[in-house]
């Protein structure tokens, strides 16, 4: 071993300070530090920085909220049945592919909800429908929250639909549609705040009374260019061949995404909101 | 090997170990997202993916935490990519550590620091780091992960971990004395000051 090799370099000194050196190399560094109090002090300062950061940031971090803990434990308790099936996972990929193909397909996915034929109407619409938002993220959020059942709640939002509009207005900064779907056999299950594609999002979740329960999600976001849609236009982001069809439409200030567990339920809701809301 | 042999877990044991990491996972999400709703979201999506991947999980010597944090990091990266607004600002971040530099702590800035009073300032300084330096430093200092584990969590070479750690510490060291002279620490990261929580 040469003298050069016995002098630890800067990387070695830092690794020593971090406790990353094997014992033989650590011993060599310690021998080097024996006559160098200034260097030893600097190493102590690096360790102090780490130690203080650990204490300060652990102390300042809030624990996970009880609501989140309940949701995680609910997920844990139902691991096999609550997880998306491999088919659903494949559908995510397909949905993403469908979204990417949208630009190429141009107007192919334009749908006319009010006519009640929106699954099959792929005529030439003007709005293009290219979206920067991930369809997979919308579907994943729908599936995750639907699996939570009674644990899907957010203290900021009332669980009674008729009480929801003021809280939704406060959260989103404007009046949004909060449809009552009870005449379709879908009860309001709750609302929650989330972020999809980085955007502030309100999630309204509905569930059917009939078994097996079918869920429908309506996500509302302030419009910020995340989808190439003119006001009052709609687009199908994932169609009837997907496990979870996704429909988007835009109001003046907000974008709505509708996603459901199956084509039939989602179609009925689409027709319903299509009649109710100007598209 | 640092500990026991890798082993597969029963579903019950997997769930038990996974849920036991909730606070640590939330802490990391909290310091990365800087938004309570997004932190909740990150953690929930992380667990959803983890439970889905449970059958293939093999427990290593350091437990489940690095694996869960790797998933969280991937979830975060996917989201940031989707948002198209990830502010990396890390040109040259993967440069090798400068071996020719003088002291380990630039200008011996830490020498006069009163560690008793530095906690809030240090937190503010950490939160001001670009996200990739921040997560590297958090995994190292707060979660106590080794270089190799951080490299696995972030899916980068160990040299990159060392480089990022070095840059993070340099930034913190330069910032701490200045921070110590300021008033109360800011509660919101400047990057996120304009973000609406709803």
**Which tens digits make up the pLDDT trace of B28-80?**
999 998 888 888 888 988 998 898 888 888 888 788 999 999 999 998 888 77
DSSP A234-259: EEEEE-TTSSS-EEEEE-SSEEEEEE
Q: Any CB–CB contact under 8 A between A88 and chain B?
A: no
ipTM of predicted complex: 0.72
Q: Are A214 and A265 in contact (CB under 8 A)?
A: yes
Option in B118, B138, B198 nearest A193 (CB): B198
Q: B66: distance to nearest CA of chain A, Å?
A: 17
Question: Is there a contact between B123 and A57 if contact means CB atoms under 8 Å apart?
Answer: yes
Rounded to 10 degrees, the C-alpha dihedral A33/A39/A45/A51 comes to -20
Cα separation, A217 vs B181, in Å, equals: 50
**pTM of the full predicted structure?**
0.54
d(C-alpha B126, C-alpha B120), whole Å: 10
Confidence of residue B88 (pLDDT cuts 50, 70, 90): very low
Beta strands in B96-146 (DSSP E): none
B49 in contact with A, Cβ within 8 Å: no
Mutate to test the interface with A, among B41, B46, B147 (most CBs of A within 10 A): B41
Residue-level pLDDT at A263: 78
The answer to whether residue B22 neighbours chain A at the CB level (below 8 Å) is yes
- Work out whether strand B58-59 and strand A215-222 pair parallel, antiparallel, or are unpaired: unpaired
- Give me the count of residues in chain B: 198
The CA distance from B88 to the nearest CA of chain A, in Å, is 16
Q: Is B157 left (phi over 0), alpha (psi -120 to 50) or beta?
A: beta
What's the rounded Cα separation, in Å, for the pair A67 and B195?
A: 24
Q: Contact at 8 Å (CB) between B111 and A225?
A: no
Q: Is the pLDDT of residue B1 over 50?
A: no
pLDDT digits (tens, 9 = 90+) for B9-20: 788 889 889 999
A-contacting residues in B 104-163 (Cβ below 8 Å) = 104-105, 108, 110-111, 115, 118-120, 122-123, 126, 137-138, 140-142, 144, 146-147, 162
Q: Which helix (H) or strand (E) holds B118?
A: none
pLDDT for the residue numbered B78:
82
Residues of B in Cβ contact (< 8 Å) with A68: 22, 26, 40, 43-44
Average pLDDT over residues B81-106: 42
CB burial of residue B65 (10 Å; 0-12, 13-18, 19+)? buried
């Amino acid at each position: 071993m040469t003298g050069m090799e016995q002098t630890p370099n800067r990387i070695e000194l830092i690794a020593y300070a971090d406790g990353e050196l094997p014992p033989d190399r650590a011993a060599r560094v310690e021998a080097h530090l024996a006559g160098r109090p200034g260097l030893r002090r600097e190493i102590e300062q690096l360790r102090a920085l780490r130690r203080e950061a650990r204490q300060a940031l652990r102390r300042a971090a809030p624990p996970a909220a009880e609501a989140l803990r309940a949701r995680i434990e609910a997920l844990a308790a139902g691991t096999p049945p609550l997880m998306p099936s491999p088919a659903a996972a494949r559908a995510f990929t397909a949905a993403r592919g469908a979204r990417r193909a949208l630009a190429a397909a141009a107007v192919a996915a334009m749908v006319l909800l009010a006519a009640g034929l929106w699954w099959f109407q792929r005529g030439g619409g003007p709005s293009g429908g290219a979206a920067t938002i991930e369809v997979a993220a919308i579907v994943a959020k729908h599936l995750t929250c639907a699996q939570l059942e009674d644990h899907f709640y957010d203290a900021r939002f009332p669980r009674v639909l008729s009480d929801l509009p003021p809280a939704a207005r406060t959260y989103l900064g404007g009046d949004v549609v909060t449809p009552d779907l009870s005449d379709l056999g879908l009860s309001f299950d709750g609302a929650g705040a989330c972020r999809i594609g980085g955007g502030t999002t309100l999630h309204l979740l509905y569930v059917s009374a009939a078994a097996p329960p079918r869920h429908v999600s309506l996500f509302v976001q302030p419009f910020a260019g995340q989808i190439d849609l003119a006001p009052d236009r709609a687009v199908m982001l994932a169609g009837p061949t997907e496990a979870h069809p996704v429909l988007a439409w835009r109001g003046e200030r907000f974008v709505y995404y509708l996603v459901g567990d199956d084509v039939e339920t989602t179609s009925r809701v689409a027709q319903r909101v299509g009649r109710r809301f100007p598209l | 090997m640092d500990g026991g042999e890798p082993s597969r877990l029963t579903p019950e044991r997997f769930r038990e170990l996974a849920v036991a990491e909730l606070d640590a996972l939330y802490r990391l999400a909290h310091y990365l997202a800087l938004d309570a709703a997004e932190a909740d979201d990150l953690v929930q999506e992380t667990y959803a993916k983890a439970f889905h991947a449970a059958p293939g999980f093999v427990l290593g010597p350091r437990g489940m935490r690095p694996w869960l944090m790797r998933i969280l990091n991937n979830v975060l990266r996917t989201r940031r990519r989707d948002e198209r607004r990830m502010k990396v600002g890390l040109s040259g971040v993967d440069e090798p550590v400068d071996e020719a530099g003088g002291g380990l702590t630039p200008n011996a800035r830490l020498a006069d620091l009163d560690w008793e009073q530095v906690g809030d300032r240090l937190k503010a300084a950490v939160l001001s780091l670009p996200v990739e330096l921040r997560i590297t430093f958090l995994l190292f200092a707060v979660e106590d992960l080794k270089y190799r584990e951080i490299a696995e969590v972030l899916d980068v070479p160990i040299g990159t971990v060392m480089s990022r750690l070095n840059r993070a510490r340099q930034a913190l060291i330069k910032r701490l004395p200045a921070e110590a002279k300021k008033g109360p620490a800011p509660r919101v990261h400047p990057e996120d000051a304009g973000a609406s929580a709803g």
